[in-house]
Amino acid sequence: MSPISATALRRAMQSFLPSLVPVRFVAEDGTTAPEPAGYTAPDEAQLREAYRRMVIGRRFDTQATALTKQGRLAVYPSSRGQEACQIAGVLALREDDWLFPTYRDSVALVSRGVDPVEVLTLLRGDWHCGYDPVATRVAPQCTPLATQVLHATGMAEAMRRRGEDRVAMAFIGDGGTSEGDFHEALNFAAVFRAPVVFFVQNNKYAISVPLARQSAAPALAYKGVGYGVRSEQVDGNDLVAVLAVLTAAVDHARAGNGPFLVEAHTYRMDAHTNADDATRYRDAAEVEAWRTADPLTRLEAHLRGRGVLTDEDVAADREAAEAFAADLRARMNTDQQVDPLELFDHVFAEPTPQLREQRALLAAESTAQEV
């Protein structure tokens, strides 16, 4: 065996390693930061569109939280404060690419064009997945942590084997990176050079457990290097940076260069869900500090500063978001009737004799109750 030179090793390592500090294009006050090497800022039309989507996304999120308080939803895991990630993830993909989201990524689904009522079917309790994954190229929102990352890898591998230039993107949180499936997915994707982007939204908490209890790595993005996966970390509240990096990651995968891991540093402004009490594990001061890093106000200040966004634009976007929320409220304030007999219809393509018997039993019970 010929020894590998230290220089060659270092070069190989460095090709996988993330930047020492998270990539950032826009400072918290909206002013332009020095442009980071290796990434191209999205154009103004893209940023304008991203802002519009973030406004709607934020409004959707607060509306869903309100619907939970009114008893219309069983539970809602808010992503308020993570809109730059939610929207950039969707904008970086083509329509024929696949998205593999978690339960906290409803805003991304809405931005992808999935009917918000169908997005909320799961949380409303009418069924599990309410939308058509094939038509939307959005996998069912995944609750078992990190399991969806392997599915994204499999889907990416399927598309690669057919010679298609399509990409799969898996969303995952900081807590999910501790699960074995995350590591197996990175490893499999690297070995097969599957066109998959792993997008970690590090919002600092896994329910109540802070990041320091989750990982001792300098950043979660470093988890890619051991698997030979190109990795990057980015300011997750800077839409410009997240979109620039995710676009580069998607291009990298689409071009046949294998998987890409992106960690976005962001913050979950609300509790884990409405059923959680975040004051038990974090200080108000910490939450308050993150308020100044709000991704929506940052992009707004930035676009206003560049003359891309006017008062009229902002008013128009907010009005559109209000109309969106009003429509959602109206459609969510009606009771859906789901036929309990449907419970037997999708276990198998053809129900087994036993399922037919049980279906008849439930049908008889329903008839007896009606009499």
Q: Which residues lie near other proteins (CB under 8 A)?
A: 127-129, 132-134, 139-140, 144, 147, 149-159, 161-162, 168, 180-181, 184-185, 187-188, 191, 342, 345-349, 352-354
Name 290's Cβ contacts closer than 8 Å, sequence gap at least 6. Answer: 81, 267, 269
96-110 burial: b if 16+ Cβ within 10 Å, else e: ebbbbbbbbbbbbbb
Give the residue from 56, 42, 19, 83 showing the smallest Cα distance to 234: 19
Q: Identify which of residues 160 and 204 has a Cβ nearer to other proteins in the complex.
A: 160
Instruction: Tell me whether residue 69 or residue 161 sits nearer to other proteins (CB atom).
Output: 161
Find the shortest distance in angstroms from Cβ 128 to other proteins.
4
Residue 268 among the catalytic residues: yes
Measured from the CB atom, the residue of 12 and 338 that comes closer to other proteins is: 338
Query: Of residues 80, 268, 298, 302, which has the active-site annotation?
Result: 268
Q: How far apart, in Å, are the Cα atoms of 249 and each of 47, 117, 234?
A: 18, 31, 12
Nearest distance in Å: CB 154, other proteins: 2
CB of 82 to other proteins, least distance (A): 24
Residue type, 211: L
Q: Which is nearer to other proteins, 150 or 321 (CB)?
A: 150
CB neighbourhood size of 127 (10 A): 14
DSSP string, 170-199: EEEETGGGGSHHHHHHHHHHHHHT--EEEE
Q: Minimum distance from CB of 78 to other proteins (Å)?
A: 23
Please state, in angstroms and as integers, the Cα–Cα distance from residue 81 to each residue in 27, 41, 208, 298, 348, following that order.
16, 22, 17, 11, 40
In the annotation, is 11 catalytic? no
> Which residue lies nearer to other proteins by CB, 315 or 347?
347
Q: Shortest Cβ distance from residue 326 to other proteins (Å)?
A: 28
- Verify whether residue 59 is a known catalytic residue: no
Q: Report the distance separating Cα 103 and Cα 76, nearest Å.
A: 9
Helix (H, G, I), strand (E, B) or coil at 62: helix
Q: Which is nearer to other proteins, 23 or 167 (CB)?
A: 167
> Which of 53, 252, 272, 298 is flagged as catalytic?
272
Do residues 121 and 64 lie in contact, with contact meaning Cβ atoms separated by under 8 Å?
no
In what helix (H) or strand (E) does residue 264 lie, and over which residues does it extend?
A: strand 260-265
Q: How far is the CB of 143 from other proteins (least distance, A)?
A: 8
Name the catalytic one among 222, 281, 318, 329: 281
- Active-site residues, by number, are 268, 272, 281
